[in-house]
Amino acid sequence: EDQVTQSPEALRLQEGESSSLNCSYTVSGLRGLFWYRQDPGKGPEFLFTLYSAGEEKEKERLKATLTKKESFLHITAPKPEDSATYLCAVLGANYGGSQGNLIFGKGTKLSVKP
Partner 1 sequence: KAGVTQTPRYLIKTRGQQVTLSCSPISGHRSVSWYQQTPGQGLQFLFEYFSETQRNKGNFPGRFSGRQFSNSRSEMNVSTLELGDSALYLCASSLVPRQETQYFGPGTRLLVL
The site for partner 1 (CB under 8 A) is made up of 31-32, 34, 36, 41-46, 49, 87, 91, 95-102, 104-107
How does 2-17 read in b/e, with b if 16+ C-beta sit within 10 Å? bebebeeeebebeeee
- Runs of H (alpha helix) within 12-66: none
CB of 99 to partner 1, least distance (A): 6
CB of 103 to partner 1, least distance (A): 9
Side-chain-side CA neighbours of 104 within 13 Å: the count stands at 12
Nearest to partner 1 of 32, 74 (CB atom): 32
CB of 41 to partner 1, least distance (A): 7
Measure the CA–CA gap between 106 and 88, rounded to whole angstroms. Answer: 8
Nearest to partner 1 of 18, 101 (CB atom): 101
Nearest to partner 1 of 59, 79 (CB atom): 59
